[in-house]
Amino acid sequence: MESQLETVALFSLKLAYETEGSSPILRDDLVMGDYQRDVFELLVRRGDVEGIQVKVDECVGLALEAVGGVDKPLGRELGKLAGEFAGIQAIRELNGPLIALRDYLKAIQ
């Protein structure tokens, strides 16, 4: 799960900060500092669903801005998926919504 969380953060930050012709954002870039696998691993180990959701919401919020907000077609779907992820209350229930969010972010890159 930690890898998927890191991937969601990476794809979100790519949408927010990567520009055509610039160097791509990679997992070891400074912008990924608070969203690396080991940070998510600690949160998962603690069972900190709220902490995970806060971290994911920070990144997805930036991606949502980058696609024009919830009033735009890409933003509507991203907002819907983010809302489903935010509504989860148990760590064991995060996987399905997390995968849907990851796959959508990957698709709109």
Task: Report domain extents, the chain.
Answer: 2-107
Reported as a single tens digit per residue, the pLDDT across 24-81 is 888 888 889 999 999 999 999 999 999 999 999 999 999 999 999 999 999 999 999 9
Task: Summarize pLDDT for 82-107 with one digit per residue, the tens.
Answer: 999 999 999 999 999 999 999 999 99
- Secondary structure element (H or E) that encloses residue 100, with its range: helix 95-107
Per-residue burial over 8-43, b = 16 or more CB atoms within 10 Å of its CB, e = otherwise: bbbbbbbbbeeeeeeeebeeeeebbeebbbebbeeb
- Does position 20 have pLDDT exceeding 90, yes or no? no
- pLDDT of amino acid 57: 97
What is the C-alpha to C-alpha distance for residues 67 and 45, in angstroms, rounded to an integer? 32
* pTM for this model (two decimals): 0.93
Whole-angstrom distance, CA of residue 49 vs CA of residue 38: 15
